């Protein structure tokens, strides 16, 4: 079964290094590590040509505001919606259905204000927690029963909307790189195994050692 990992963010160079785009950043780092290239949606048919799973599906006819990469080991579709954060479900739900995937075959990576910067949490399911991109996906899928990886960006003392759209500072970049590497390792583990519970057991024990 092809699994799907979605990183949430906003399209455009002005958002590239912002806190709200940490889902994109995790996937971008993994793509460099795994030698993958993100392509526009119009290339989806060509990328799946001859694919024993996705190549046998009917042509994708859903919204095309996304970029994707395809890997065979692990068997996965990597997706960055380009609808802007709050409309992420408009792309994610049609892609999941087109791929013939079940909700448990989807993982969403996104920023979380309620976790301290750099803190990572895996969950097998749950609510949106105020994250509008996740709310859009839950509403569009009609379920919250899919895995997710929350990446902490911390809650500011003042304006949360401004905070999420601020760029990471130079001082924060070294710690950010560590966070992205650890998040990527967890995503790969889940993509290979599909077992979110074992993944949680393995990585939470490691991440909590410094608590």
Distances in Å between the Cα of 100 and the Cα atoms of 3, 73, 104 are: 10, 19, 12
B/e letters for 149-169, b = 16+ CB within 10 Å, e = fewer, are bbbbbeeeeeeeeebbbeebe
Active site residue 20: yes
pLDDT given for residue 210 in this prediction: 52
pLDDT given for residue 53 in this prediction: 85
- Coil, helix or strand at residue 64: coil
CATH architecture of 3-210: 3-Layer(aba) Sandwich (3.40)
Interatomic CA distance for residues 65 and 85, integer angstroms: 12
Evaluated on CA atoms 46, 50, 53, 56, the torsion sign reads positive
CB atoms within 10 A of CB 198: 12
**Residue 41 near residue 114 (C-beta atoms within 8 A):** no
Which pTM does this prediction carry? 0.96
Interatomic CA distance for residues 80 and 88, integer angstroms: 9
Domains of the chain by residue range = 3-210
Interatomic CA distance for residues 132 and 208, integer angstroms: 27
- Coil, helix or strand at residue 112: strand
**Residue 81 near residue 120 (C-beta atoms within 8 A):** no
pLDDT, mean of each 10-residue run, the chain (211 residues): 96 95 98 96 92 90 96 95 97 96 97 95 96 97 98 87 92 95 97 96 85 49
């Amino acid at each position: 079964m092809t699994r799907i990992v979605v990183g949430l963010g906003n399209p455009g160079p002005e958002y590239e290094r912002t806190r709200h785009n940490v889902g994109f950043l995790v996937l971008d780092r993994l793509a460099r590590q795994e030698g993958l290239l993100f392509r526009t949606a119009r290339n989806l048919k060509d990328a799946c040509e001859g694919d024993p799973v996705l190549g046998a599906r009917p042509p994708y006819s859903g919204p095309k505001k996304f970029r994707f990469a395809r890997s065979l080991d692990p068997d996965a579709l990597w997706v960055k919606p380009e609808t802007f954060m709050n409309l992420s479900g408009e792309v994610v739900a049609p892609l999941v259905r087109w791929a013939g995937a079940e909700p448990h075959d989807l993982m969403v990576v996104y920023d979380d204000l309620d976790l301290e910067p750099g803190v990572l949490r895996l969950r097998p399911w749950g609510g949106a927690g105020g994250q509008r991109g996740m709310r859009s996906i839950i509403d569009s899928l009609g379920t919250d029963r899919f895995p997710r990886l929350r990446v902490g960006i911390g809650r500011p003392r003042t304006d949360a909307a401004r905070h999420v759209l601020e760029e990471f500072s130079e001082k924060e970049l070294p710690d950010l790189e560590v966070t992205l590497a650890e998040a990527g390792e967890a995503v790969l583990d889940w993509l290979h195994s599909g077992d979110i519970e074992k993944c949680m057991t393995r990585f939470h024990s490691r991440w909590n050692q410094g608590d």
